[in-house]
Structure 1
């Protein structure tokens, strides 16, 4: 059996599969972003989530052949690596696991561990790819100065647009009304109290405001739509950067897939991202994701254990 954990800035998914491609149990829990919830918060969440998935499957941690823990911000602060790497041992009671960045879960799921590039756009954003044994990533430097095209980035741009609309530096569109209504602002400047006070500038809570930008765009706000289109263009730039880092030859087609809430059924990015990627000509082939990132994590665990799933088992898992 193989355990996959797809940690995120807002929620964390758990899945346990077997070598035949059967999903034995799944569970969803809270944030794994240690910068926001602390190491103790991540440790408690992982213990709770693993206990839930083991109980649902009727197994114990000892029954797990290998596990992959995909964690947000993993590898971006070397002083935190030892603590992050030790967290699963406390939960599993053994060393048959590997920790890595959650970008690997998205790539492994969307492309089923095949060569190609995965773009992630959720609370944060980044691109990750593997090709001919090489690996590369782009973006994902954090919300303060990166994570372009993510929900946090879109929300931040939307809040900036609201301030310009309020000041008269930009024409007032539907976004202005939506922000006032949804955040119950009596005066426009009350937004500062909401963002800095109520929301405490927390990454995941700010990211949730991206929905207001998407809704405004759907209501015909051209300035809000421009934010969405720019987000899609930024994500394509990340794909291009990963392609160059992988050393893919000119003219070689590369599969590109995607994951994250902004690419979901009610997300705003699928159409503009596909359009922006199409401007690159035949360099890319847009591929719908085959598996959810959490199943990708479990699939990657099997691969790293040296016992990758067979083609038949993979098809069973995908179905």
Structure 2
């Protein structure tokens, strides 16, 4: 009989469901909206998990009980002792069995980019976080959220950009192409109208703000030095995640650690990726590795891995992992 392994990669913008067979071939996939419970609420996050699970099983013509193993990589999982058990119980209820594990979505990026091999992966999407494993021990850094963390992420870049716009508007910084890009994007009649768009009654959600990072990139491409400085700073913040995680995992000083990346900032914004890789090379401590697979596939790969292991032996710093 065909074996089915389901991986769920939750993100700040979307959630991807990928099901593979025992040979690693993708046999079904689905997409839903974000399952970031801090934005949409735990109830809506669970509803979207059920929607995606139903779509995958419907495509395969099977019941959830036929899935051999599932891994749910969920945003902010491992960070709330009240919500985590609720999400874990909901996954058990949706599947109707206990052959699954829940963890933070950072695991999906690492599992995909490095194929579940020892090393580090830096996620820079809507938010930012680093995860790696060494000799069966995992660790995370970053991922503290948009209020006081997520440095180097799209949301962080966008917030730095919005602050730059305010300085340009006030005359505290010279006006450059970025001011024009924001004015055009929001069709502003006056600069102060931006406050209403961002924080007003119909203000922008976290993911919508994160998409404004594209305006910073556009302005940087047009020669805006202040916008370029933001992107360069983002690369520096991501390097700090990498070096802290390298130390936390206890890699010897003479070992060049494989490091990869995932998320829209490092996958799609060439300036940030190139600056990040250049900074990595300067340290002499890392070996950059182009991502082997996307995070959704990584989640399914991780599910297959857990099915073959006594997953209770996996130790992850920061408690982002739980299984039945």
Conserved in 1, the CA contact under 8 Å of 2:42 and 2:83? no
Q: State whether residues 12 and 30 of structure 1, in contact with CA within 8 Å, keep that contact through their aligned partners in structure 2.
A: yes
1:182 aligned residue (181, 185, 191): 185
The alignment partner of 1:47 has SS state of helix
The alignment partner of 1:264 has SS state of helix
Please list, as runs of the form range in 1=range in 2, the aligned pairs for 1:80-91 lying within 5 A after superposition.
80-91=83-94
Residue of structure 2 in register with 1:289 after alignment: 291
- TM-score, scaled to structure 1: 0.94
Count of matched residue pairs: 307
* TM score, norm. by length of structure 2: 0.92
For the residues of structure 2 that align with 1:37 and 1:144, how far apart are their CA atoms? 16
Please tell me whether the aligned partners of residues 261 and 267 of structure 1 are also in contact (alpha carbons under 8 angstroms): no
Q: 1: CA distance between counterparts of 2:222 and 2:240?
A: 28
* Equivalent in the alignment of 1:147: 150
Q: Select which of 24, 33, 36 maps to 2:39.
A: 36
Determine the structure 2 residue equivalent to 1:166. 169
1:302 to 299, 304, 307: 304
- SS of the residue corresponding to residue 117 of structure 1 reads strand
Aligned partners of 1:155 and 1:210 also within 8 Å: yes
Supply the distance in 2 between the matched residues of 1:189 and 1:291 (Cα, whole angstroms). 43
Q: Distance in 2 between matches of 1:307 and 1:117?
A: 21
Note if 1:270 corresponds to 2:259. Answer: no
Instruction: List runs of 5+ in structure 1 lacking aligned partners.
Output: 309-319
CA-based RMSD of the aligned residues comes to: 1.3
**CA shift digits 1:13-53 (9 cap, x unpaired):** 00000111111011111011001101111111111111111
Alignment of 1:113-128 (within 5 A): 113-128=116-131
Once the 2 structures are TM-superposed, how far is the Cα of residue 146 of structure 1 from its aligned partner? 0.5
Over 4 Å off, 4+ runs: none
Instruction: Report which stretch shifted further, 155-164 or 257-266.
Output: 257-266
3-state SS of 1:225 partner: helix
Equivalent-residue separation in structure 1 for 2:121 and 2:68 (angstroms)? 27
CA distance in 2, matches of 1:199, 1:248: 48
Structure 1 distance, partners of 2:152, 2:30, is 28
Instruction: Tell me, yes or no, if the aligned pair for 2:111 and 2:302 is still in contact at 8 Å.
Output: yes
d(CA) in 1 for partners of 2:201, 2:219? 23
